[in-house]
């Protein structure tokens, strides 16, 4: 039986990695296209405008060039943010989630208690984008008035996104939850969902802790203080292979 479980797990992880590789390639092409059709074209136009302004000393052309430069800068910032926000690298998961919450159309409270501990960079990235996808789902599908993101360390890095919306979330309806499970499975993590009709919806992401170079290590007690067990009604684990 143990061998069958290991074989099933290997098949699951292999399938999730294949889907991630496909997703990364699609994203790479999107970024390439956005850079070519957006920022690159804008920069070409900006160079031409600056050349004309230099010849004519026209204040209107200079103002137009400044507007174009601001637009290009904003576009490049959006692209870079879509790859990985600098606040995540510089200040860690908690600060990155706070920045994410500030941009959310649904009010979000972040409760992060990692202290000086930072997980490995790959785990921070996985947890950040998983939380980002979960909050996107809250904004798009839940009808929630509020949401909470809770982060705890220990032997497991746990990120929980809870909203007070209508509930009834279904991973088979294209809400991105299977892709979320894929991202976590690569790191040995898992995704648990509780979303009974009427709510609340709780998405809990769990990743085995690995120390990052920036922190002093996680607490050894595996504490999840501040996390409550999701309601049993409608609770399920979302598997990377989509066979839940």
Distance of CA 232 to the CA centre of its chain: 26
**pLDDT in the model for residue 38:** 65
88: left (phi over 0), alpha (psi -120 to 50) or beta: alpha
Query: In the chain, what is the greatest distance between 2 CA atoms, to the nearest angstrom?
Result: 80
Name the token pair of 59: 């204040």
Q: Say if residues 204 and 191 touch (Cβ distance below 8 Å).
A: yes
**pLDDT in the model for residue 244:** 35
Distance of CA 217 to the CA centre of its chain: 23
Q: Structural domain boundaries of the chain?
A: 2-83, 92-238
Name the token pair of 112: 């992060």
**pLDDT in the model for residue 25:** 60
Residue 70 DSSP SS3: helix
Domain 92-238 has CATH 3.40.50.720: no
**pLDDT in the model for residue 81:** 58
**pLDDT in the model for residue 90:** 87
Mean pLDDT per 10-residue run, the chain (244 residues)? 80 72 66 65 72 73 76 67 76 93 93 89 89 90 95 94 92 72 85 93 94 51 48 51 37
CA-only gyration radius of the chain, Å: 22
Cα distance between residue 36 and residue 54, in whole Å: 26
Report CA-CA distances (Å) from 146 to 142, 165, 166. Answer: 10, 8, 12
Cα distance between residue 240 and residue 186, in whole Å: 9
């Amino acid at each position: 039986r143990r061998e069958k479980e290991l074989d099933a797990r290997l098949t699951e992880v292999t399938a999730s990695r294949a889907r991630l590789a496909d997703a990364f390639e699609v994203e790479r092409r999107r970024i390439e296209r956005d850079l070519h059709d957006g920022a690159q074209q804008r920069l070409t136009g900006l160079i031409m405008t600056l050349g004309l302004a230099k010849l004519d000393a026209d204040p209107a052309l200079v103002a137009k060039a400044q507007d174009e430069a601001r637009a290009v800068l904003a576009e490049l910032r959006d692209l870079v943010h879509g790859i990985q926000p600098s606040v995540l690298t510089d200040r860690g998961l908690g600060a990155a989630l706070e920045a994410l919450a500030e941009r959310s159309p649904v009010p979000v409270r972040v409760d992060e208690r990692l202290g000086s501990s930072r997980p490995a960079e790959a785990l921070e990235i996985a947890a950040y984008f998983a939380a980002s996808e979960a909050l996107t789902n809250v904004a798009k599908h839940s009808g929630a008035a509020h949401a909470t993101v809770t982060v705890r360390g220990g032997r497991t890095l746990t990120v929980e996104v809870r909203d007070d919306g209508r509930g009834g979330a279904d991973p088979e309806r294209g809400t991105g939850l299977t892709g979320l499970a894929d991202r976590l499975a690569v790191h040995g993590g898992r995704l648990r969902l509780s979303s009974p009709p009427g709510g609340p919806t709780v998405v809990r992401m769990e990743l085995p802790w690995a120390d990052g170079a920036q922190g002093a290590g996680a607490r050894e007690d595996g504490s999840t203080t501040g996390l409550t067990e999701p309601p049993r009604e409608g609770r399920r684990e979302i598997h990377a292979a989509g066979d839940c």
